[in-house]
Amino acid sequence: MIGIRVENLLKKFGTTVALDSVNLSIQAGELFFLLGPSGCGKTTLLRLLAGFYTPDEGAVFFGKDNVSKIPPYKRNTGMVFQSYALWPHMTVYQNVAFGLEQKKISRNEIKERVEAALASVQMEPYAQRKPNQLSGGQQQRVALARALVVRPQCLLLDEPLSNLDAKLRNEMRSEIRRICKEFELTTIYVTHDQEEALSIADRIAVFSKGVVEQVGTPLQIYKRPKNRFVANFIGETNFIPGKVLRVGAGEGFVETEIGNFRGALVNATHPPQVDDSVWLCIRPESLKLETTPCSENCIAGEIGNATYFGEVAHYEFEKQGVRLKISELNPCHLGQTNRKGLFASAMPEDVVILKK
Ligand code: ATP
C-alpha cells in the first residue's frame, strides 16, 4: 500500500488551465474520489497520476518517490476506463492475462494469477467468453480483474460505472469498495455522480475549474460545505441571504427577510463576522413541517407546488414571496386542506452559514 501526494500541480492545454496549483494527500489504502462537473480537471489529474501526462509545474509522489517523470508502464498502476477498453477478439481469460504476458511471467504463474483475479470479481465461469458475449456489468468486472491482476500499487478508476443502468451501478459500486478494501488498494475514483461518491468514498475532493474546492469525508462535504459551489453541487440546498447579528462558539445569529436564524459557522480560515453578508444554507430534508410554531429557526408559510414520488414528496414552501424547497419522507401534507398555516423549522446544526 502506498500513499499518493500531489504538490502544486499545474497542467495547461494551450491557454486552458486544466489544473491550477492542486495539492492533495491521499492515504495508503484510501478510496478517494475526484468529484466535480464536466471539464473541471478530474480526468486530467487521473492521467497525471497514471503518467499519461507530465505536469507543467509541481510533482506527483507515490510514497516518497517523485514519479512525475516516470513513464506509465513503470508506475505499476491499474487503470479502469469508462469504456472498459477490452480487446474484442480475445477471451476474458486472454484479456486479463495480457498485461502479465507483456511482463514475461511464467505460464503457471499467469494461470494462477488470472484465475485468482477472475475469482475476486466472480467471473471465473466466464473465462472462455468474448467481451460481446457479456453484459455491461460483466465487462466492467473483467476490466477490474485486468487492472487487479498486475498487483498495482494503486487503482485508478475513470467513471467506471457510467455505462451501466441504475440498478447495476448500485450493485457494482459496493462491489468496487469491497474489492479495494480486500486488496488494500489505494484507489482514486473519478466521477461526476455525487451519489456514487457519497455512498462509497472514504474521502472526496470536490473540483471546480481546475481547483480543489474542498476535501473531506462524505459527511463533512454534505453537512459542512465550505462554500456555495460545494453546497450547490452536492445535493439540493436552499440559499437564504442574510446579515450576521452575533457570533458565538462555532455558531452565528443571522437576520434574513423571513426571520432570524441560529446556525453553524463552518470551520474556515476566515469565518463570517458581525455585519457580514452571508448565505444560510439549509437542505430540503432538514426543514420539518409542523402545524404549531417552534421556538427557533421557524418560518410561517404555506405549501405551493407539491410533487409526489411515493416515499418522499417535494414541496415549495412560500413565505412573503420567498420559496424554499422542502422534502418530506412518508408525506402527509399533500391534501389541499393541510397545506396552509404551517411552520417550517430547521435545527441550528442543520443551518450552515457561509460568507458571501
Ligand atoms: P468530464 O467529466 O467531462 O470528463 P473532466 O473533469 O474530467 O471532465 P478534463 O477532461 O480533465 O475534465 O478537462 C479539463 C479541461 O482541460 C477542459 O476544459 C478540457 O476541455 C481541457 N482538456 C482536457 N484534455 C485536453 C487536451 N488533450 N487538449 C486540450 N484541452 C484539453
64-84 pLDDT, tens digit per residue, is 999 999 999 888 899 888 877
Domain pair 4-229 / 236-355, same fold: no
User: Quick check: 4 and 154 in contact, CB under 8 A?
Assistant: yes
pLDDT at residue 225 is higher than 80: yes
Report the percentage of the chain scoring pLDDT > 70.
99
Write down the residue that cell numbers 480475445 correspond to. 90
Confidence label for 337 from pLDDT (cuts 50, 70 and 90): confident
Tens digit of pLDDT for each residue in 141-158?
899 899 889 889 899 999
CB of residue 37 inside a 6 A radius of ligand 1:
no
CB of residue 191 inside a 6 A radius of ligand 1:
no
Query: What does the pLDDT average to over 245-265?
Result: 93
Q: Of 100-109, 238-247, 284-293, which range is least confident?
A: 100-109
- Which residues, in sequence order, are bridge partners of residue 262? 253
Choosing from 10, 11, 13, 208 the residue with most ligand 1 atoms within 8 A of its CB, the one to mutate for a pocket test is 13
Per residue, the 3-state secondary structure of 197-230, as one string, reads: HHHHCCEEEEEECCEEEEEECHHHHHHCCCCHHH
User: Quick check: 272 and 332 in contact, CB under 8 A?
Assistant: no
Per residue, the 3-state secondary structure of 57-102, as one string, reads: EEEEEECCEECCCCCHHHCCEEEECCCCCCCCCCCHHHHHHHHHHC
The mean of the pLDDT values for the chain is 92
CA of 39 to the centre of ligand 1 (A): 5
Pick the residue whose CA is nearest to atom 15 on ligand 1: 18
CA of 311 to the centre of ligand 1 (A): 38
pLDDT at residue 270 is higher than 80: no
CB of residue 44 inside a 6 A radius of ligand 1:
yes
Position 232, amino acid: N
CB of residue 42 inside a 6 A radius of ligand 1:
yes
Sign, CA torsion 291/292/293/295: negative
Q: Collect all residues with Cβ–Cβ distance below 8 Å to 65 and sequence separation of at least 6.
A: none
Pairing of strands 186-191, 154-158: parallel
Confidence label for 268 from pLDDT (cuts 50, 70 and 90): low
SS3 356: coil
User: Quick check: 254 and 244 in contact, CB under 8 A?
Assistant: yes
User: Quick check: 234 and 225 in contact, CB under 8 A?
Assistant: yes
Write down the residue that cell numbers 409526489 correspond to. 308
CA of 13 to the centre of ligand 1 (A): 9
CA of 210 to the centre of ligand 1 (A): 9
Pick the CATH number of 236-355 from 3.40.50.10320, 3.30.43.10, 2.40.50.100, 3.50.50.60: 2.40.50.100
Pick the residue whose CA is nearest to atom 26 on ligand 1: 13
Confidence label for 299 from pLDDT (cuts 50, 70 and 90): very high
Q: Which atom of ligand 1 is nearest to the CA of 43?
A: 7
**Domain range summary for the chain, segments of one domain joined by +:** 4-229, 236-355
Tens digit of pLDDT for each residue in 158-169?
998 887 778 878
DSSP codes joined into one string, 146-215: HHHTT--SEEEEESTTTTS-HHHHHHHHHHHHHHHHHTT-EEEEEES-HHHHHHH-SEEEEEETTEEEEE
What is the reported pLDDT for 219?
97
User: Which carries the bigger pLDDT value, residue 21 or residue 337?
Assistant: 21
Confidence label for 32 from pLDDT (cuts 50, 70 and 90): very high
CA of 79 to the centre of ligand 1 (A): 18
What is the reported pLDDT for 183?
86
User: Quick check: 143 and 80 in contact, CB under 8 A?
Assistant: yes
Instruction: Give, for 44, the enclosing helix (H) or strand (E).
Output: helix 42-50
pLDDT at residue 267 is higher than 80: no
User: What does the buried/exposed string (b/e) look like for 160-178 if buried means 16 or more CB atoms within 10 Å of the residue's CB?
Assistant: bbeebeeebbeebbebbbe
Q: Note the CATH architecture for domain 4-229.
A: 3-Layer(aba) Sandwich (3.40)
Q: Collect all residues with Cβ–Cβ distance below 8 Å to 310 and sequence separation of at least 6.
A: none
Tens digit of pLDDT for each residue in 85-108?
899 999 999 999 998 888 778 999
